[in-house]
Chain A
C-alpha cells in the first residue's frame, strides 16, 4: 500500500469535560472509500471534522496529502482547498445562486478570474447533473439538489480528498438516491472519500473499508462484508443488529 493520503494518529479531543475522541488512529489510502459508522455520540463526526481542522484535536497528529494540519506554520486555508467537505445540512449560502455558491472559493481562494471561475463552476454543476440549475437560489432547490450543489462547491476546487458528514441524513428518502449516485461517480473517478453515514446499502456496494466507532474509539474495522456479516466485537454486533432491524 502506498503512503496514506490521510494519516491521523492518536487523536484526542475534549468538549469541556466530555472526552469525545480517545486516541483515534485512521489511515486512508489514495482512492480509498472509507465508511465510518457508529452510534450517535460515538465521535465519528468529530473525527471527520478533525481531518480538515474544523475541530482542533487536543493532541495527536493529522497529515493530509503531506500537509501537517496541526503545525503552526501550516496555512490552513490553503490546506483546506485540498480537502472538500459536505455537510448534513448542506450549508449552501442562501444569498447566492447555485453557481455563486460554487464559484465563491474559486474566485476568492483559488484566485480564478470571474470567467474562469464561471467555466469551472458550470463544469462542476454539470458533474452533479445540475448545470441547468446554475441560476437558482438554494431556496428554489430540493434537498437532493441542494446537497449536490454542495458537492459541486467542494469538488470545483479539485480536492485530493472528500469528507462527507452524514450527507443524506437530512434528505427525504426519495431524494437520497440522486446524492448517492453522485458519490458513486466520484468514487469511480478515483476520489478518496471518508463518509460518515448510515447508508448501509451504499457502504456494502461502494466502500473499501468500514470503520465502526463507539465511545470515542475505533472498535473494529474491515471490509464491508466482514463488518456487516461477521462482526467480531460484541458492540459492533449490537449496533449492526440495531440498524438492520430498521
Chain B
C-alpha cells in the first residue's frame, strides 16, 4: 500500500462512507432544523428587545444591557452546558436539542439586539423630528420611518453574525444532539475510521456555502444606493 492509498483508505474509505452516509444525512436534517429555529427565534427576540430598548425605560434598559453583555461574553458552549447540565437541578430537564437551540438563540438574540439597536441609533435625529412634526406618534415613527432605514443598515453585520452563530449548531454534539458533527463523531468511534468526519465536513459545506453566497448577495442588494 502506498502512502497515498493509505491516506485515501484512512480519510476517504469508501466502505465506511457507504455505511454511514445515511446517518450524516439525518444529521443534516437535524442541523437544518436547529439552525432555522435558532435564526428565527434569535433574530425575532433580538429585534423585540431592540424595540423595547427604544422605548427608553431606564431600569429595563440597564437590565437588558447587562443580560446582553453577559450573553455576548460567555462562550456559547458554556451556555449550552449550563442549560443542559444546570437546569435539571431546578427540575427542568431540557433535551440536548432544546438546550442547544435555547443557548444559540439567546446568543443570537444578544448580538442581534446590539446590531438592531446600533441601526436604530444610526438613523439621524432629523428623521424622528420630521416624522413627529407631521403628527406621527413615537411608535408610528419607529415603525414607518426609523426601522426600515435601520434594518437596511443592519443587514450586512446581521448576516455575518447569523452565519457565525448558526455554525455553532455543531456544539450540540457535546450534549448528544444527533446533528452532523454528532453523527460523524459517533460513526468515527464505531468504525475506527475518520472518513465520516470528511462526510460531515462535506455536509457543512453543502449547507453553508449557499448561505454564505446568499448572505453576500443580500449584503450587496441592500447596500445604500447613494
Contacts and interface: CB of A to CB of B under 8 A. Distances in A.
B149 A89 contact: no
A91 B134 contact: no
B66 interface: no
B142 to A, nearest CB: 12
B33 interface: no
B135 A81 contact: yes
A124 to B, nearest CB: 12
Interface residues of A, number: 27
A94 interface: yes
A105 B134 contact: yes
A95 to B, nearest CB: 5
A153 B145 contact: no
Interface stretch (B5-13, B125-133, B156-164, B166-174): B125-133
B149 A105 contact: no
Interface string B99-124: 00000000000000000000000001
Interface size band for B: 20 to 34
B93 to A, nearest CB: 47
A105 B136 contact: yes
B contacts with A: majority SS: helix
Contacts of A193: none
B126, B130, B137: residue with the most chain A Cβ atoms closer than 10 Å: B130
A172 to B, nearest CB: 18
B225 interface: yes
A184 to B, nearest CB: 22
B159 to A, nearest CB: 19
A108 B136 contact: yes
Nearest to A137: B225
A40 to B, nearest CB: 18
Contacts of A81: 134-135
A78 B225 contact: no
The interface residues of chain A, by DSSP majority, are classed as mixed
Interface string A80-104: 1101110101011111000000001
B135 A77 contact: yes
B133 A95 contact: no
A78 B127 CA distance: 19
B149 A83 contact: no
A230 interface: no
B129 to A, nearest CB: 6
B22 interface: no
A55 to B, nearest CB: 10
Interface string A146-180: 00001001100100000000000000000000000
A106 B132 CA distance: 13
A92 B225 CA distance: 15
A154 B130 CA distance: 9
A52 interface: yes
25 contacts: A77-B135, A77-B136, A78-B135, A79-B135, A80-B132, A80-B133, A81-B135, A84-B134, A87-B126, A87-B130, A89-B124, A91-B124, A91-B129, A93-B130, A93-B149, A95-B149, A95-B152, A105-B131, A105-B134, A109-B135, A109-B140, A139-B225, A139-B226, A153-B130, A157-B135
Given A80-B133, A109-B140, 13 more contacts: A77-B135, A80-B134, A80-B135, A85-B129, A85-B130, A93-B145, A95-B149, A95-B152, A104-B131, A105-B135, A110-B135, A153-B130, A154-B133
Interface of A: 52, 54, 77-81, 83-85, 87, 89, 91-95, 104-105, 108-110, 139, 150, 153-154, 157
